């Protein structure tokens, strides 16, 4: 079984938007290398989206392991410069990832596994 409790609908028009574990999502298909990435569909609004959408992993050319490594170092309290050096990633990229990840992250695990979209327009109710 797929555990979708950390995912939420990314359609801002949808009543279930941003609610994790609302039971409204299903896996419709898989894609990518080894078919590891899932396409999710919201039963409420019928919108489909990639499980990577809205996360620091989406739209990033870095391999997921590299992103995870960068975020781990930041979570451990390494500075941007140090993290970049340890992970072999340039400082601009580290800064971007930490900014995206830090703003709405409850913890690192949420960021790596959960797919709550960044909330840029104030609190979601």
When the beta carbons of 22 and 70 are compared against Zn ion, the nearer one is: 22
From the CB of 48, what's the least distance to Zn ion, in Å? 10
| Separation between Cα atoms, residue 47 and residue 24, nearest integer Å | 11
Least Å from the CB of residue 50 to Zn ion: 14
Measured between alpha carbons, how far is 112 from 123 in angstroms, rounded to an integer? 22
Which are the contacts of 125, defined by CB distance < 8 A and separation ≥ 6?
none
- Give the residue with the Cβ less far from Zn ion, 45 or 108: 45
| 108 belongs to the binding site for Zn ion (CB under 5 A) | no
14 binds Zn ion (CB under 5 A): yes
Q: Which of 103, 35, 112, 21 is nearest to 9 (CA)?
A: 21
Binders of Zn ion among residues 29 to 48 (CB under 5 A) are: 42, 44-45
CB atoms within 10 A of CB 45: 17
Question: Binding residue for Zn ion (CB under 5 A) from 4, 8, 11, 55?
Answer: 11
Q: Note the residues at the interface with Zn ion (CB under 5 A).
A: 9, 11, 14, 16, 42, 44-45
């Amino acid at each position: 079984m797929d555990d979708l409790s950390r995912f939420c609908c990314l359609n801002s028009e949808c009543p279930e938007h941003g609610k994790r574990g609302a039971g409204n999502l299903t896996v419709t298909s898989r894609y990518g290398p080894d078919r590891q990435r899932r396409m999710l569909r919201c039963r409420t609004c019928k919108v489909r989206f990639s499980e990577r959408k809205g996360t620091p992993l989406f739209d990033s050319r870095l391999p997921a392991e590299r992103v995870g490594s960068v975020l781990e170092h930041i979570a451990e309290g390494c500075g941007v410069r140090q993290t970049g050096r340890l992970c072999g990633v340039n400082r601009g990229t580290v800064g971007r990832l930490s900014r995206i990840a830090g703003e709405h992250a409850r913890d690192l695990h949420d960021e790596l596994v959960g797919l709550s979209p960044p909330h840029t327009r104030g609190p979601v109710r």
